[in-house]
Structure 1
Amino acid sequence: MTEQTRNFEADTGKILNIVINSLYSDRDIFLRELLSNASDAVHKRKLLGQTQPDILNSDEDEILVAVDDKKKTVEIIDTGIGLNADDLTETLGTIARSGTSSFLDSIEEASDSKNAAKALIGKFGVGFYSAFMVAEKVVVTTRKAGENGANIWESDGKAGYTITAVSDEQPVGTSIKLFLRKDAKEYANLHKLKELIKKYSDHIVIPIFVQSKDVEKEQANSAQALWTKSPSEVSEEEYSEFYKASLGAFDEPYIILHNKTEGSIDFTNLLYIPKTAPFDLFEPERKTKVSLYINRVFISQDVDGVIPTWLRFAKGILDTTSLDLNVSREMVQNSPVIKKISKSVTKRVLSELKKKLKKDEAGYDTFWEQFGKVLKEGLYEDYEYRDKIAEITRAYSLKHQKLISLDSYLEEMADKQDKIYYLTADTLKQAKTSPHLEGFRAKDIDVLLMTDPIDAFWMSQMGAYKEKLFLSISRDKYDLSELSEETPNEATNEVETSSIALLIKDCLGDAVEDVKVTTSLVESPVRLVAGKGGLDFNLERILKAQNPEFEGSKKTLEVNADHSLVRKIPDLSPELQKALSRVLFEQARVLDGEMPSDPQQFSKDLIAIGTAL
Structure 2
Amino acid sequence: PTVRAIKRQLTKRILKKLGKLASEQPETYSLFWAQFGHVIKEGIQEDPDNRDLLIELLRFKTTRPVDELPTSEDIEPVADETRAWRSLATIKADMGTKQESLWYLTDVNSDRIERSPMLERFRAQTIEVMLLTDPVDEWVMMHVQTYEDTPLKSVAHGDLPQMDEDGEDPISEAAHSQAAPLATWMSELLSDEVAEVRVSKRLTDSPSVLVNQQGAMGANMERILAAAQQSVDKQQRVLEINPDHPMVQTLARLNGDGKTGIEPFARLLLDHATIIEGRIADPSGFAQRLQTLMDKAAEAL
TM-score scaled by structure 1?
0.43
CA displacement at 1:448 relative to structure 2: 0.6
Partner in structure 2 of residue 382 of structure 1: 47
Q: Distance in 2 between matches of 1:413 and 1:495?
A: 31
Number of matched residues?
Answer: 275
Partner in structure 1 of residue 68 of structure 2: none
Counterpart check, 1:603 vs 2:294: no
Instruction: Choose which of 154, 166, 172 in structure 2 pairs with 1:485.
Output: 166
CA displacement at 1:496 relative to structure 2: 2.1
Tell me if structure 1 keeps the 8 A contact 2:179–2:248: no
Counterpart check, 1:432 vs 2:117: no
Tell me if structure 1 keeps the 8 A contact 2:60–2:85: yes
Compare CA radii of gyration and give the structure with the larger one: 1
Identify, as 1 or 2, the structure richer in strand.
Answer: 1
Instruction: Choose which of 90, 93, 112 in structure 2 pairs with 1:408.
Output: 90
Aligned-pair identity in percent equals 29
Q: Distance in 2 between matches of 1:494 and 1:473?
A: 20
SS at match of 2:190: helix
CA displacement at 1:506 relative to structure 2: 3.3
One-letter amino acid of the structure 1 residue matched with residue 89 of structure 2: D
Counterpart check, 1:512 vs 2:177: no
One-letter amino acid of the structure 2 residue matched with residue 398 of structure 1: T
CA displacement at 1:594 relative to structure 2: 4.5
Counterpart check, 1:531 vs 2:209: no
Pair 1:337–1:540, CA change in 2 (3 A): same
Tell me if structure 1 keeps the 8 A contact 2:104–2:154: yes
Counterpart check, 1:369 vs 2:51: no
Tell me if structure 2 keeps the 8 A contact 1:422–1:450: yes
Identify, as 1 or 2, the structure richer in helix.
Answer: 2
Q: Distance in 2 between matches of 1:423 and 1:545?
A: 19
Structure 1 stretches of 4+ with a deviation exceeding 3 A read 486-491, 546-549, 570-575
Partner in structure 1 of residue 146 of structure 2: 464
Partner in structure 2 of residue 475 of structure 1: 157
Tell me if structure 1 keeps the 8 A contact 2:175–2:244: no
Q: Distance in 2 between matches of 1:414 and 1:479?
A: 15
CA displacement at 1:426 relative to structure 2: 1.6
Counterpart check, 1:360 vs 2:45: no
CA displacement at 1:585 relative to structure 2: 1.2
SS at match of 2:284: helix
CA displacement at 1:589 relative to structure 2: 2.3
Q: Distance in 2 between matches of 1:438 and 1:429?
A: 15
Written as runs of structure 1 = structure 2, the 5 A alignment for 1:275-294 is none
SS at match of 2:239: strand
CA displacement at 1:356 relative to structure 2: 2.2
Partner in structure 2 of residue 579 of structure 1: 264
Q: For structure 2, which runs of at least 5 residues remain unmatched after alignment?
A: 66-82
Q: Distance in 2 between matches of 1:532 and 1:404?
A: 27
Partner in structure 1 of residue 69 of structure 2: none
SS at match of 1:432: helix
Q: Greater relative contact order (Cα 8 A, min sep 6): structure 1 or 2?
A: 2
Q: Distance in 1 between matches of 2:176 and 2:102?
A: 30
Pair 1:433–1:493, CA change in 2 (3 A): closer
CA displacement at 1:489 relative to structure 2: 4.4
Cα RMSD after superposing both structures = 2.1
Partner in structure 1 of residue 74 of structure 2: none
Pair 1:494–1:406, CA change in 2 (3 A): closer
CA displacement at 1:497 relative to structure 2: 1.6
Partner in structure 2 of residue 452 of structure 1: 134
Pair 1:466–1:495, CA change in 2 (3 A): closer
SS at match of 2:143: helix
Q: Distance in 2 between matches of 1:494 and 1:521?
A: 12
CA displacement at 1:348 relative to structure 2: 1.9
One-letter amino acid of the structure 1 residue matched with residue 180 of structure 2: S
SS at match of 1:377: helix
Written as runs of structure 1 = structure 2, the 5 A alignment for 1:293-442 is 336-400=1-65, 401-442=83-124
One-letter amino acid of the structure 2 residue matched with residue 393 of structure 1: L
Q: For structure 1, which runs of at least 5 residues remain unmatched after alignment?
A: 1-335
